[in-house]
Amino acid sequence: MILLARNLLLILFFTVLATGADLEASPKNRCRVSFPSDSSIDWFCYQIKQNETAESLFGKHWENVLRFNRIDRNHLRPGKYIKVPNDLKSVVDFNPMPLKLDRAKDYRKYVLIDLSEQFLGAYDYGELTLSLPVATGTPGHGTPKGLFKVWGRERWHRSTKYTISGTGILYPMYWGIWFHTSKNWVRFWIHSRDMPGQPASHGCVGLYDEEMQKKFYKRPDSPELMDSKKLYLWLFPDGLKDDVPGSKLTEYPEGLQGALIEIK
């Protein structure tokens, strides 16, 4: 009887986790950041409480909920409002990007970045291979739109201008993919960055890198989300050779053959 009661409690616990039914909803307008695909999921707004984590709130679905919110674990802080799916299983493999892209079918590697969705799709000959949340430029520091070639790659790239807030440490833009240079000679990259759940950069395109965050912020304890590395190795199959101390920028003077980046 004791064992049966324990099993029933476990079933009830994981059922509650799967529905989010134990969380107190806040007014939806408190979740001020919105994306077109929000309407595809039934969700409610929730304010993070003290000592709550993605894992404690959402169990095995924590990564899916974070990706739906385009946010990292370090930004899931007390007072933060996030969107919680009524059914956590509804955001398993969440993807707002098209599964097929006809205009990409002639390209070996094609990256589509949707600024309105804050999401990136990586396509092999028009077939979606990766779908990843991003953080792009803020108003006044917009990410450029258009079609771009890949001009270079640099595993350990760092900003030459911006620092980690509150420090003198140049911001780590690891697993960097250089795709544009402005008329003012400003280079734009796809790279590792913090993911606060909204546009946050000076024009570059940021992706999850919890190993970078662990190195510079000492958290999360166990890095798991490594989208910047994932995209880098997808685009450059030999990219692991760059993952050694001291590796430098590799340039493609004519652009990386068979690759194109579209930002819209």
Instruction: Out of 45, 180, 191, 202, pick the active-site residue.
Output: 180
Asked whether the predicted pLDDT for residue 37 surpasses 70, the reply is yes
What does the pLDDT average to over 119-133?
A: 98
- Residue 194 pLDDT class (50, 70, 90 cuts): very high
Could you read off the pLDDT of 132-151 as tens digits, one per residue? 999 999 999 999 999 999 99
Return the H-helix or E-strand segment holding 132: strand 127-133
Asked whether the predicted pLDDT for residue 40 surpasses 80, the reply is yes
Could you read off the pLDDT of 218-230 as tens digits, one per residue? 999 999 999 999 9
Q: What is the pLDDT of residue 145?
A: 98
204 is catalytic: yes
Boundaries of every domain in the chain = 2-91, 102-263
Q: How many CB atoms lie within 10 A of CB 240?
A: 12
Could you read off the pLDDT of 75-111 as tens digits, one per residue? 999 999 999 999 999 999 999 999 999 999 999 999 9
158: which residues sit within 8 A by CB, 6+ positions away?
A: 170, 171, 172, 173
Instruction: Out of 31, 61, 191, 204, pick the active-site residue.
Output: 204
Asked whether the predicted pLDDT for residue 121 surpasses 80, the reply is yes
- Residue 51 pLDDT class (50, 70, 90 cuts): very high
Asked whether the predicted pLDDT for residue 17 surpasses 70, the reply is no
Return the H-helix or E-strand segment holding 14: helix 2-19
- Torsion-angle region of residue 59: left (phi > 0), alpha (psi -120 to 50) or beta? left
Count of CA atoms in the C-beta half-sphere (13 A) of 40: 12
Q: What is the pLDDT of residue 58?
A: 98
Structure-block tokens of residue 119: 């999401």
Asked whether the predicted pLDDT for residue 166 surpasses 70, the reply is yes
- Residue 57 pLDDT class (50, 70, 90 cuts): very high
- Residue 14 pLDDT class (50, 70, 90 cuts): very low
CB 201 within 8 A of CB 138: yes
What does the pLDDT average to over 33-53?
A: 97
Q: How far is CA 207 from CA 126, 153, 169, 210, in A?
A: 22, 15, 19, 10
- Residue 8 pLDDT class (50, 70, 90 cuts): very low
Asked whether the predicted pLDDT for residue 5 surpasses 50, the reply is no
CA distance 27 to 5: 36
Q: What is the pLDDT of residue 16?
A: 43
Widest CA span of the chain, in angstroms? 74
Among 3-17, 32-46, 189-203, the least confident range: 3-17
Three-state secondary structure call for residue 116: coil
CB 213 within 8 A of CB 130: no
What does the pLDDT average to over 15-32?
A: 74
Q: What is the pLDDT of residue 11?
A: 41
Could you give phi then psi for residue 221, rounded to 5 degrees?
-65, -40
CB 82 within 8 A of CB 31: yes
Q: What is the pLDDT of residue 13?
A: 42
Structure-block tokens of residue 5: 């009661």
Classify domain 102-263 by CATH number. 2.40.440.10
2: which residues sit within 8 A by CB, 6+ positions away?
A: none
Select the more confidently predicted residue: 177 or 8: 177
Three-state secondary structure call for residue 83: strand
180 is catalytic: yes
Q: What is the mean pLDDT of the chain?
A: 93
